[in-house]
Amino acid sequence: MSKLFDLCNKNVLLTGASKGMGLAMAQGLVNHGANVVVSSRKLDQCEKAVEIINESIGKEKAFAFSCNASSKDELNALVDFSLSKLGSITTLVCNAGVNSFFGSMSEIDDESYDKTMDTNVKSNHWLINMVTPSMKESGGGSIMITSSIAAFHASETLGAYSISKLAVLGLVRNYASELGPSNIRVNAICPGLVKTDFSKLLWENPDAEKASSQKMPLRRLGEADDFKGVAVFLASDESSFMTGQALTICGGASMWS
């Protein structure tokens, strides 16, 4: 029997994982054998997600823990919990993110700017440093951070968000260089417009959804399930020679040029 994409020896910590893309990735990872800790700000949503995952496979492979990703103390508690439940952390999925302001950069207040950068960039920097000791003890690991195709373009209304997601690519590149000698791979996932609660304002109107989808070569918006396979690939040994990359999953909305 083929062992391709076998994750039975992988222990995964996921942030922003109680719904949408994060939940889909958690489901995909568990279905391929991984043990996962599901984290987001609200414990009840984490527990509901874990219940769904564990019931689907008939065993306890997922565990819930609430954490505000912008809090260093809470992230430390999340890592401690994960190590206590899993024994080690071989894979980290940083999917938590916010967009706290819609409008021009000339109008954004300091609080909104700081919240965007702290949650989308600094929290990932903290978390990487917290989990890498366990990965090094395990002989290596895989880290993936959710960026966005917004990183590739300027925006008159999502400027701070776009800047934060571009900074994520810089974070990925630098950590890939620093951690490569320890056999720890670091990659970014760059979604296009995906039908989740996070982007609901951009697609819940049928006319807006149609207009957006018609601009894409595949003529549809992304779905959360489109990211299951990406997470499984990056967590698996089949991506062992890939690091420092930005995987763009966008239906062709943003192509290499």
User: Above 80 in pLDDT, residue 213?
Assistant: no
User: Above 60 in pLDDT, residue 74?
Assistant: yes
Q: Verify whether residue 113 is a known catalytic residue.
A: no
Active-site residue (options: 65, 126, 161, 203): 161
Give the architecture (CATH level 2) of 11-194+224-249. Answer: 3-Layer(aba) Sandwich (3.40)
In which band, very low, low, confident or very high, does the pLDDT at 193 lie, cut at 50, 70 and 90?
confident
Predicted pLDDT at 77: 98
Q: What would the pLDDT profile of 136-175 be if each residue is shown by its tens digit? A: 999 999 999 999 999 999 999 999 999 999 999 999 999 9
Predicted pLDDT at 198: 60
**Quick one: average pLDDT of 97-102?**
90
| Among the ranges given (15-19, 45-49, 87-91, 200-204), the one the predictor scored with the smallest mean pLDDT | 200-204
Average pLDDT over the chain, rounded to an integer: 93
In which band, very low, low, confident or very high, does the pLDDT at 206 lie, cut at 50, 70 and 90?
confident
For 3-23, give the DSSP string.
-TT--TT-EEEEES-SSHHHH
In which band, very low, low, confident or very high, does the pLDDT at 204 lie, cut at 50, 70 and 90?
low
In which band, very low, low, confident or very high, does the pLDDT at 201 lie, cut at 50, 70 and 90?
low
Predicted pLDDT at 212: 72
